[in-house]
């Protein structure tokens, strides 16, 4: 997953080779990360049922040798900001819409069109030079009549270049969506190697796997108050050693993550280690600490220390 310098590839433009950048946007919990993982065929972005799971822009690379390379940008869900980290996530998402070849605007079939949907739609209307595909997700959760009505409602609101209805869970229309994406891709050269699936380094991937388990194993309060740092990473050919810290804002949250007799933190360590050993095909020694850093989500300096530096995106 380490970055590859594009100049090192020495690839020349090929009139038959499709390559370009696609930004995936939408409000929280509409299925952006799930769709990207399905398209790429690998776990690139973490997925939970908690809103605002994605905090950083993550590029996933979809390759088909000698035919195409599509770079998919997974963005945080755009929402009404309350804290500094909310503004960071929204800024990341809007920044991801710049200098892209195509925008996928994801909206759910099973929920009412809300103010965040309309806010995104109004911003996208201003981007007249960038083609946009409206992707109505979670089609398997509503009736055909409800789905047709949702399509009609959106056609009256948003002038998309193309509209498609999908179900990532049922794999409905995923291939058709890829065909639509390729329709808008320019003829260009490769930006990444054939075997690369993300532009993110190992350190980021490990951090996200730990955060995913925190999101999955805690209630509504803890997930958005938690962050992860990788304090030490030694990646050797035959093993990997990791020292990480989970930060929360209150002592009570620390107790929730540790669990009775350390049961929850041990379970988090076990699940993360198992995924890492499968991903990297070698033994992993993982140590995780839990620390309290009060009000870190409202402090620009603490956000930067946690890895949420707006100047890097």
76 assigned to a ligand binding site: yes
* 2 carries a ligand binding annotation: no
| Residue 201 among known ligand-binding residues | no
Q: Sign (positive/negative) of CA torsion 10, 15, 19, 21? A: positive
Q: Is 138 annotated as belonging to a binding site?
A: yes
Q: 24 forms bridges with which residues in the sheet?
A: 74, 104
Q: Collapsing DSSP states into helix, strand and coil, what is residue 174?
A: helix
* 77 is annotated as contributing to ligand binding: yes
- 98 labelled as ligand-binding? no
Separation CA 114–CA 80 (nearest Å) = 11
Residue 282: partners with Cβ closer than 8 Å, 6 or more residues away:
237, 238, 239, 240
Q: Which two tokens stand for residue 112?
A: 């009412």
- Where helices occur in the chain by DSSP H, the ranges are 6-9, 32-40, 84-95, 115-125, 144-157, 174-183, 202-217, 251-258, 263-280, 300-305
CA distances from 184 to 26, 160, 240, 300, 305 (A): 20, 13, 41, 38, 38
Residue with tokens 């109004």: 122
Give the residues across from 235 on adjacent strands. Answer: 240
Any binding-site annotation on 28? yes
31 annotated as ligand-binding? yes
CA–CA separation, 59 and 72 (whole Å): 5
Q: How far, CA to CA in Å, does 216 sit from each of 32, 223, 227, 235?
A: 18, 8, 14, 27
75 assigned ligand-binding residue: yes
SS3 for 64?
A: strand
52, 80 Cβ separation under 8 angstroms: no
Residue 103 among known ligand-binding residues = no
| Sequence ranges of the binding site for GTP | 26-33, 74-78, 137-140
Binding residues: 26-33, 74-78, 137-140
């Amino acid at each position: 997953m380490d970055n590859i310098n594009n100049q090192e590839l020495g690839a020349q433009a090929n009139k038959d080779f499709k390559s370009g950048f696609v930004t995936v946007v939408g409000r929280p919990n509409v299925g952006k990360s799930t769709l990207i993982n399905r398209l790429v065929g690998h776990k690139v972005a973490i997925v939970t049922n908690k809103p605002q799971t994605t905090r950083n822009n993550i590029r996933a690379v979809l390759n088909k040798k000698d035919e195409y390379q599509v770079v998919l940008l997974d963005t945080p869900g755009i929402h009404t900001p309350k804290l500094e980290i909310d503004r960071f996530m929204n800024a990341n998402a809007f920044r991801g819409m710049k200098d892209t070849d195509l925008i996928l605007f994801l909206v759910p079939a099973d929920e009412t069109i809300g103010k965040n949907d309309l806010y995104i739609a109004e911003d996208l209307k201003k981007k007249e030079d960038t083609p946009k595909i409206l992707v109505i997700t979670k089609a398997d959760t509503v009736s055909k009549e409800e789905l047709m009505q949702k399509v009609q409602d959106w056609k009256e609101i948003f002038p998309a270049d193309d509209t498609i209805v999908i179900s990532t869970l049922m794999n409905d229309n995923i291939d058709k969506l890829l065909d639509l994406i390729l329709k808008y891709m320019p003829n260009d050269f490769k930006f990444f190697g054939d075997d690369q699936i993300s532009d993110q380094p190992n350190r980021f991937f490990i951090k996200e796997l730990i955060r995913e388990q925190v999101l999955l194993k805690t209630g509504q309060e803890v997930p958005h108050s938690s962050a992860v740092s990788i304090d030490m990473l030694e990646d050797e050919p035959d093993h990997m050693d990791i020292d990480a810290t989970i930060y929360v804002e209150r002592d009570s949250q620390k107790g929730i993550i540790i669990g009775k007799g350390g049961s929850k933190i041990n379970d988090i360590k076990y699940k993360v280690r198992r995924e890492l050993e499968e991903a990297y095909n070698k033994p992993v020694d993982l140590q995780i600490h839990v620390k309290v850093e009060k009000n870190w989500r409202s402090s620009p300096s603490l956000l930067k220390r946690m890895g949420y530096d707006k100047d890097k995106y």
